[in-house]
Chains A and B, each alone.
Chain A
Amino acid sequence: MAVIQIREAIRDAIAEEMRKDDSVILLGEEVGEYDGAYKCSRGLLKEFGPHRVIDTPICENGFAGLGIGMAFLGLRPIVEFMTFNFSLIAIDQIINTAAKARLMSGGQLKCPIVFRGAGGAAKQLAAQHSNSFEHFYSYTPGLFVVAPSTPYDMKGLLKTCIRDDNPICFFESELTYSLKGEVPETEYYIPLGVGDIKKEGKDVTLISWSKNVHLALRVAEELQKDNIDAEVVDIRTLKPLDTQLIYDSVRKTNRCVVIQEQHEIASFGSYLAFIIQRDCFDYLDAPVEVVSSLEVPMPYSFVLEEYVFPSVERCKEAVYKVCYL
């Protein structure tokens, strides 16, 4: 197995699908000449040419809508948002056009498109560049939402998303593009709606997605000092959601903490807490805890930013709480 970075896993997934199918097209700001703002498309312009690796002007609504039109007529566009912060400019196209086209046309239109890019905060990019928006898209019927955490998952899931006939929002993370992991040389796909246990444990279930899976793993490691054996569930896809994996884990450990970068109110983590208490009520020894970002637009100073994020400390406290320690 090769050990590669997440950005390379993404690049390889796109390249493999583009080689296989000339209807796959990559478009977005800086994807060509610049190799991607985070270098996720290195070399693709050279290999596939400017008609398939399309540098767009800065107009998120325009190129998202354009991608949708391509998809209506049989292409399989991958639209890169430099980060999902800028997807707000295109959110009307994603939610009102892509997600609804199939229903509104009574099943006549198909919109096979992937909107991808970095979601969530990076380091000290301040309030406008530190948004966590998975819930907007998860909320919308007609969209799938994917947020993997490792190179292996990133590649296998992105390839699946490119082949899928539904519009999909695919979240990456600025802070983990350089993260390395093993990826097989042979081709593979990971199905949507299948989560993954990143660490087995028996005392408490930690649920997360995207880069916070790595936080959950750190928390689990620290908890070993307290003799708490935490299980880490990486949901990988928010929609469709692998509820069975979550429920099996919670029914085994009887305690659950959700770790998310979102703010708590109306967030995806709150939704998880709700369905877990609804469907696993008899198995729970304590109310589900959700560790979230604090209720404030992200301040710049690193002292404040670290405090606003879910920290190892806050996660541990939540675990102690559900363990009545």
Chain B
Amino acid sequence: MNIEEVKKYYGEMLRIRRFEEEAARLYTERKIGGFLHLYIGQEAVAVGAVAAIDLKKDYVISAYRCHGHYLACGGSVRAGFAELLGKETGCAKGRGGSMHFYDVNLHYYGGWGIVGAHVPVAAGMAYALKYRNSGGVVICFIGDGAVNIGPFFEGMSLAALWGLPLVVIIENNYYAMGTPLHKTAPVEDLSIRALGFPVARDTADGFDVFAVKEVVARAVERARSKNQTTLIDVKCYRYRGHSMADPGTYRTKEEIEEKKRNDCILKLERYLDMNGYGDVIEEIKSKIENEIQQGLQEALNDPFPAVETAEKFAYVED
């Protein structure tokens, strides 16, 4: 492992985790409303995948558990917190909320709340990139729960048919809300669905940022050079409930503890520690803590949207 990469990904994953922990706190303090789906536990997937692309020409789109993808693309901590707080300075100007983060300049295209519906949208973005010969690729994150709904199949089959530069990553965290994987699919490796379209398939260990990066990089290369679509099953696990409202009665503490032993961040922290980079860990931690606390403070002080602007953004005004 390249030590610079270890430091980089460690920091990026920690940044997401700390953001989510603070978000959870804000939620329990009732400062943020609506649904809050935390990404804690799955950080290696977003960070590993984004490490494999070039956001100057590539694009990312995901579902409602979106803070991690937004941050991995370089999204601002302050604008993220501001969005959760419903502030005008939010990454969607307080109009989207937790499920609908966007930063078009960073090529992060959301943040979508209808399970599976953004798969055809991702295919359309890939069509546009191919049509313009841009050499760009679209990365689309979905959950294990999304591989059973029509739009998933329709989007994948169009991508296969037209050879679109698209990489669909299933973040297989074993649960769709409280429904375990074995009740929604007859197999654990959901990439098997690739066979019918057909598109290329692969699997990765979502607790290992380097493994994710490697597998996604291969898929991106296929997409870029051969316009081949890939479906990847990445096994991962969310430590928190489906949303903050979820008491988690459908799984055991032991199961969660067992998964946590393989934690993507702790693994890199141990590696850094063992290789004599203890001071670097502290440095990274304090740098991130500063960014988080400063972003949060700024967001808390930021203004709410003016109510007179409530109808703004319904239409493109010329």
Contacts and interface: CB of A to CB of B under 8 A. Distances in A.
Interface of A: 25, 51, 56-57, 59, 61-75, 77, 92-93, 96-97, 101-110, 112, 141-142, 144, 164-166
28 contacts: A56-B158, A62-B153, A63-B154, A66-B121, A66-B155, A68-B120, A68-B121, A73-B125, A74-B128, A92-B114, A93-B117, A97-B117, A102-B316, A104-B96, A104-B102, A105-B92, A105-B100, A105-B110, A107-B93, A107-B312, A108-B102, A108-B103, A109-B109, A112-B316, A141-B314, A142-B315, A165-B318, A166-B316
Interface string B226-256: 0000000000000000000000000000000
A135 to B, nearest CB: 18
B264 to A, nearest CB: 29
Contacts of B154: 59, 61-63, 65
B117 A103 contact: no
A112 B312 CA distance: 17
Nearest to B96: A104
Interface in B87-110: 90-96, 100, 102-104, 109-110
A116 B318 CA distance: 23
Nearest to A69: B124
A72 to B, nearest CB: 6
Contacts of A96: 113-114, 117
Nearest to A98: B121
A107 B313 contact: yes
B93 A106 contact: yes
Nearest to B155: A62
B180 interface: no
Given A61-B154, A70-B128, A108-B102, A102 B117 contact: no
Contacts of A71: 124
Interface of B: 59, 90-96, 100, 102-104, 109-114, 117-129, 131-132, 150-151, 153-155, 157-158, 161, 312-316, 318
Contacts of A62: 120, 123, 151, 153-155, 157-158
B78 to A, nearest CB: 15
Given A59-B158, A97-B114, A109-B104, 10 more contacts: A25-B131, A57-B157, A59-B157, A62-B155, A73-B129, A75-B128, A101-B110, A102-B313, A104-B96, A105-B104
A177 B140 CA distance: 40
Nearest to B156: A62
Nearest to B305: A106
Given A66-B120, A102-B314, A107-B313, A72 B161 contact: no
Given A63-B158, A93-B117, A142 B128 contact: no
Contacts of B95: 103-106
A87 to B, nearest CB: 14
A75 B314 contact: no
A51 B227 CA distance: 15
B314 A69 contact: no
Most buried by A among B104, B125, B126, B315: B315
A26 B316 CA distance: 22
Contacts of B316: 102, 110, 112, 164-166
B81 to A, nearest CB: 15
A57 B96 contact: no
A162 to B, nearest CB: 14
